[in-house]
Amino acid sequence: MRFYDERILPHLVDKACSMGQVMKLRQQLVPLARGRVLEVGMGSGVNLALYNPEQVEHVYGLEPSEGMRRKALKNLESSPVSVEWLGLPGEQIPLADNSIDTVLLTFTLCTIPDWHTALQQMKRVLKPGGELLFLEHGEAPHETTRKWQHRITPGWKKIAGGCHLNRHIADLIRQAGFEITELENLYMPNAPKIAGYLYKGRAVKPSEEAQGNAENP
């Protein structure tokens, strides 16, 4: 499977995640990033061209897949912002506490094995009031689609790099202690419903004072 994971899967993921409709949604989200940015699951770097260099200081790209990092070389060469690779999984983020202004997640949270630890790490490195921008696919609200998502996910994970079709993205983000400030749900046009239900939005890391009040009501 290593040959498949490092040589074939990166090409398939890159194609699937850079189709026209997907890119339109990325174009709505990525330019909102500001300051020092952590992109978790940078993949082939398709978001790089969408960053606004006037408001982004630096981008840390977390991507554990060697195959995806190879795939990203062309996009890195033409990037309008400075980029630094962090070749570790999402559960391990080698950055200081409260050092990041924006975390960007695009079609990544579905694949991280320990999503809770990963989100806790993202919250740790975000400054109080810092923003999490997300565009993810996940559990659909309609019962028939949801049932098929649960049935297919065990086999799907084996061929899709650990991708879960059935994670309720908004709930995961809330459970990690983020406050969602903006959320849009939609089925992506011309995509299979089991893989095309999207969560697009923004969330913030509460200020330390707000977190303390929540923990000690």
- Reported as a pLDDT band with limits 50, 70 and 90, residue 16 is confident
**Rounded distance, CA 120 to CA 3, Å?**
32
Q: Which of 28, 29, 92 is nearest to 60 (CA)?
A: 92
List pLDDT tens digits, range 21-70. Answer: 899 999 999 999 999 999 999 999 999 999 999 999 999 999 988 888 88
**Rounded distance, CA 71 to CA 21, Å?**
21
- Reported as a pLDDT band with limits 50, 70 and 90, residue 217 is very low
| Residue 3 scores a pLDDT above 70 | no
pLDDT at position 135 = 97
Cα→Cα distances 58→194, 202, 204, Å: 35, 20, 20
In the chain the domains, ranked by start, together with CATH numbers, are 2-205 (3.40.50.150)
Q: Measured in whole angstroms, how far is the alpha carbon of residue 114 from the centre of its chain? A: 14
List pLDDT tens digits, range 118-136. Answer: 999 999 999 999 999 999 9
Q: Which of 55, 58, 53, 52 is nearest to 37 (CA)?
A: 58
Looking at every residue in the chain, the average pLDDT score rounds to: 90
